Structure 1
Amino acid sequence: MANLDKKVKGSWLIHHTNKLQGVTNQTGYENTFLAGKAGILLSAISSDRQLSISQERLETLAIAANINIMFELPKLLDVLEKQQLIDRSTKGVSVLGVTTATTLQHTSDLFDSLGPKSNELASISLAERASVSPILAEDVAEEIADLHRLSRSELTHFLKDAETIGFVDAEKISENEKLLFNGNLFRRDATKKIVSVLDSLKTEEKVKLTELTEKLKKSACVTIEYAREFLGENLFQKVAAIGLFDINVVSNSIEDVGFITLPSAFSKYSNSMVDDAFDLAKAFVSSITYGMTKSSYSRGQIQAVDALLGTLVAGGSVGPVRAIAEDYKILELKGVVEVKSGTKNGRTGPMLSLLKKEVGELALQAIRQGDVSEHSLTALPSATVTSFIGPEQNREKVRRKQATLNPKITNDMLTILRTGKGL
């Protein structure tokens, strides 16, 4: 644990918090949940430059991040203020320039400052170990118990928690043996692991899987429909279940569209990045891909994606076109972009600008090169909202169904973000 990179540790805390939100209580993991929720809020409200946020906008972004504004928000603001990450006033908050990478580091530091329990530290160690390669529960149990000084009864309870909550997945392979793993297996040393998967397939399956992987390296992402048809349903289900591909679903007022990406496409080679740690970039790339492949010209189909992203990364605005108000709602609710009415070249309408420059830079590299492992930036996810379903949720089929915000509530939230003033 002492040698674990803070960004990686922060990513696991976000991962665990997302899992804890899927169970009825968080007893025993309160510090994990508090630190993770604070990190999620900081990600939602922060930009790479200093930002002043009105109370109305603050509450809207918190709601979108699945944070209760009556009970959780005040506590989380207290925590962030104590860490000197925000300044509060009667009108709202001021957030210093915080990148998504440093947000993960702050999440890790906050967790450490809370005096985490042994089982909370153990949950991070176990998740990290299970992301390297699948491991037998009995083989890792003694290691975890010794490292975090867990008694036999504490260890038994912890391993049950880890499986029930979802810190790791467990596959029973015999009467007395369980194999532990998680959805991050293909985020590092991916080439070796893909070879192992290929070795277990039939010749024709190997050829198809290799061809699709090469296509993804070149084009960043393809639609789920294309992947299903190309691989066939049986092979698609087989590789999706183990996390060989990331499945991302974006929505607008017209339809829900799924895209797949390579888990390793957004991570540094040999660096353990957890599932959901790049939801922002993948949501961005999926939205841009939608704009290139699905949106009609009359709605604002993206014709020159390189120029569009280049303008956003340089601090400019793009538009005005009608599609901007529809296709990027998830990015607005996650605090990645801002949509405002504006005028350009004699036309007036929705204009798009970028709040998190590093996410735009990563999306630009992904669109240009597909596999961007040499140009990695660490991005942090927000909590799941109705218009984007990230890789882990799609892989795992979460235990409880998420309530969908009705269109009026979503539109009201977006109106606040688009028209609300700063401090």
Structure 2
Amino acid sequence: MDKKTKGSWLIHHTNKLQSVSTQQGYENTFVAGKAGILLSAISADKATTLSKVRVETLANAANINTAFELPRLLSLLKEHEFIDDTSSGITAVGITSAVVLQHTAAIFSELEPSPMELAAISLAEMASIAPSYATDAMEEISDTFELASADSTQLLYDANQIGFVDFENLDKDRSILFNGNLFRRDSAQKIKTVLDSMSPAEQQSLTEFTEALKRCACIDVDTAEKMLGKPLFQKTSSIGIFDVSIVSNNSSNTGFVTLPAAFSKYSNSMIDDAFDLAKAFLSSITYGISKSHHARGQIRMVDQLLSALVRGESIGPVAAIAQDYRILEMKGVVSVKMGEKKGRTGPMLTLLKKEIGELALQAIRQGDVSEHSLSSLPTAAITSYVGPEQNRFRARKTQLQTSPKATNDMLSALRTGGL
């Protein structure tokens, strides 16, 4: 497993560990993952100096406790020469998201992780390639990392309870393991295998919807449910065939759907989705296209706008910039500052992570991200963004409550489909 992939799993596992009351047994995973999340938030393409107040703000937004977690993480990043203290604040080296993941893996290795922690990463990677019977997977993992029987049993329990992988019980003696990254690689063959397990009507609906997503890049959830039918949409999204992201404002939550491997033509989709930055950026851009009216700065020439940002130019000033990109500010993707251009003064937007803009630009050029793609985004300022994995996990819990066997046919088909 290369360092970027390992770094992606560390971020994935850390996000899961944040939702449980204790990280016992996975402390090194948690520390390395948190360090990677912080480094992603404070770094840009070029070396950047941030005030301590801004560092604390970005840390808070990344769910990092500024009282006791932040000092340790900053010390760790400084020790590895990824940042430096200056009289004016913190200077972060210029790096891409992929390099952040490599650094995350390097930090993890130097923390001397336990065999259980290494096994947890390997198990997640195995479950993302193809669904596996739990007994087969654990036998292989236990042999590879020389885990005692008790440790193997504990890892399987932890993986299920924490969410490192998903479990689907086939019967009282057999369980299948998989996870939300299943359709980020070799997606065409896997979707074909799933189609073969469906009824002709379901096959037609899923094929038509997948083709529509390839054309449009993203589609709102209401439209997706109409095209697929709610039951089929729920069970396909719960195993990760589609990514569902939620954009929120003060009055409503609106979901939209993308393909997990939306950016795989241009790079490793799993790596680029580690921080959900590209899809968060795409959601904000589509919001500006479809719902922001002209007076506040409607996006009309999206290709030209993104091209300018990728070239390093600042855009604006328009009022919408101060509202529509708050989530991207909190994730360290863009910077918003007051500025002047062509005799006008107001909020100006600068792209800090060039590769994220490039991915969004490629997706928009490949598909048709227009007013037809997202017709029901909220009309007030975006205040939060919930990424695909968190939404898939929620859908998965709902699916288990309503119909425990609903996804068995699809997972069994993948398990036996020669993938």
Alpha-carbon separation, structure 1, partners of 2:357 and 2:283: 12
Amino acid at match of 1:219: C
Amino acid at match of 1:126: L
1:209 aligns with 2:206: yes
Match of 1:303 among 300, 303, 309: 300
* 1:32-62 Cα deviation digits (max 9, x unpaired): 0000000000000000001001011010000
Q: Give the drift of 1:117.
A: 0.2
Amino acid at match of 2:98: A
1:319 aligns with 2:316: yes
> Higher relative contact order by CA 8 Å / sep ≥ 6: 1 or 2?
1
Aligned equivalent of 1:350: 347
Question: Greater shift after overlay, 290-299 or 191-200?
Answer: 290-299
Q: Give the drift of 1:198.
A: 1.3
Alpha-carbon separation, structure 2, partners of 1:365 and 1:42: 25
Alpha-carbon separation, structure 1, partners of 2:266 and 2:123: 21
Aligned equivalent of 2:119: 122
Contact 1:22 1:398 in 2 (8 A): no
Amino acid at match of 1:139: D
Aligned equivalent of 1:273: 270
1:245 aligns with 2:256: no
Match of 1:389 among 383, 386, 395: 386
Map 1:95-244 → 2, pairs under 5 A? 95-244=92-241
Amino acid at match of 2:387: G
SS at structure 2 position matched to 1:52: strand
Alpha-carbon separation, structure 1, partners of 2:172 and 2:396: 25
Amino acid at match of 2:106: D
Change (3 A) 1:228 1:258: same
Contact 1:6 1:104 in 2 (8 A): yes
Map 1:35-54 → 2, pairs under 5 A? 35-54=32-51
Contact 1:249 1:259 in 2 (8 A): yes
* 1:248-268 Cα deviation digits (max 9, x unpaired): 112345643321100011235
Q: How many residues align?
A: 384
SS at structure 2 position matched to 1:185: coil
Q: Give the drift of 1:208.
A: 2.1
Alpha-carbon separation, structure 2, partners of 1:115 and 1:260: 39
Q: Give the drift of 1:75.
A: 0.2
Alpha-carbon separation, structure 1, partners of 2:218 and 2:15: 25
Contact 1:250 1:257 in 2 (8 A): yes
After TM superposition, the score normalised by the length of structure 1 is 0.87
After TM superposition, the score normalised by the length of structure 2 is 0.88
Contact 1:252 1:327 in 2 (8 A): no
Question: Greater shift after overlay, 295-304 or 174-183?
Answer: 295-304
Contact 1:15 1:274 in 2 (8 A): no
Amino acid at match of 1:220: A
Question: Greater shift after overlay, 115-124 or 137-146?
Answer: 137-146
Question: Greater shift after overlay, 153-162 or 204-213?
Answer: 204-213
Question: Greater shift after overlay, 202-211 or 124-133?
Answer: 202-211
Change (3 A) 1:201 1:251: same
Match of 1:89 among 68, 80, 86: 86
Q: Give the drift of 1:287.
A: 1.0
1:6 aligns with 2:6: no
Change (3 A) 1:268 1:132: farther
Contact 1:131 1:272 in 2 (8 A): no
Q: Give the drift of 1:78.
A: 0.7
Q: Give the drift of 1:174.
A: 1.1
Identity, in percent, stands at 60
Match of 2:254 among 253, 257, 266: 257
Alpha-carbon separation, structure 1, partners of 2:116 and 2:77: 24
* 1:231-250 Cα deviation digits (max 9, x unpaired): 22122112111111101112
Alpha-carbon separation, structure 2, partners of 1:79 and 1:72: 11
Change (3 A) 1:229 1:296: farther
Amino acid at match of 1:74: P
Query: Which consecutive unaligned segments of at least 5 residues does structure 1 have?
Result: 372-384, 401-423
Match of 1:72 among 66, 69, 72: 69
Query: Which consecutive unaligned segments of at least 5 residues does structure 2 have?
Result: 369-381, 398-419
Contact 1:292 1:302 in 2 (8 A): yes
